[in-house]
Chains A and B, each alone.
Chain A
Amino acid sequence: GAVVSQHPSRVICKSGTSVKIECRSLDFQATTMFWYRQFPKKSLMLMATSNEGSKATYEQGVEKDKFLINHASLTLSTLTVTSAHPEDSSFYICSALRQSGTDTQYFGPGTRLTVL
């Protein structure tokens, strides 16, 4: 099957610090990955599309300087929350697009970020 991992699974940080979250496709290459926020009992809100070797495409209302995305290889995308504040506390979940006949997004397990 197609496996996507995220690290860390949960992180607690102080306000003003930066946090990096990694998303890896373990058994397939992904030129495209997506980053979402999911609030409790809510839907998946698309933050940005991460493209290997090029700049990420951000959704309207998402600050690109605050949520830095780097997709440096075909199996790794990172999301860095810079100068984190309590309102950034959320569940961040990534997906990787596997293109092999049928295009399917495979999701990571998510990262719970708590900013104190």
Chain B
Amino acid sequence: GENVEQHPSTLSVQEGDSAVIKCTYSDSASNYFPWYKQELGKRPQLIIDIRSNVGEKKDQRIAVTLNKTAKHFSLHITETQPEDSAVYFCAAGKTSYDKVIFGPGTSLSVIP
């Protein structure tokens, strides 16, 4: 089955700097890669996703890249703000209407 790894497990950045979180997956049949943000004590929320027919997607300060050949995908947050502090999970699945397998998470702290 699918196995998703995520690095780093913790990340601290100064406000205004960029943050990058990287994930790898094992199943070449995976074509859907969502990213979720979970603030302390709250439920995970989808922040962006990418499908295998594109290599990059951007939404304001957030961007995701996908290298299907290498089975790598990454989340980039620019101009970080304290409210970006949360745990971020990457995930991988065959389609957006199938199950997804989550990575172990990255705890991001943005220092004011």
Q: Which residue on B lies nearest to A94, using beta carbons?
A: B43
Query: Could you list 12 further interchain pairs (A-B, Cβ under 8 angstroms) beyond the known A57-B99, A59-B1, A103-B96?
Result: A32-B97, A34-B99, A41-B107, A43-B102, A45-B102, A60-B1, A93-B43, A102-B96, A105-B34, A105-B100, A107-B44, A108-B43
Q: Which residue on B lies nearest to A108, using beta carbons?
A: B43
Query: Is A17 located at the chain interface by the 8 A CB criterion?
Result: no
Query: Is A46 located at the chain interface by the 8 A CB criterion?
Result: yes
Q: Which residue on B lies nearest to A34, using beta carbons?
A: B99
* Residues of B participating in the A interface, judged by any CB pair closer than 8 Å: 1, 34, 42-46, 89, 95-97, 99-105, 107
Contact of A110 among B1, B43, B102, B103 (CB under 8 A): B43
Q: Is the interface of B mostly helix, strand, loop or mixed?
A: loop
Q: Mark A14-38, 1 if CB is under 8 A from B, else 0.
A: 0000000000000000001010100
Q: Which residue on B lies nearest to A93, using beta carbons?
A: B43
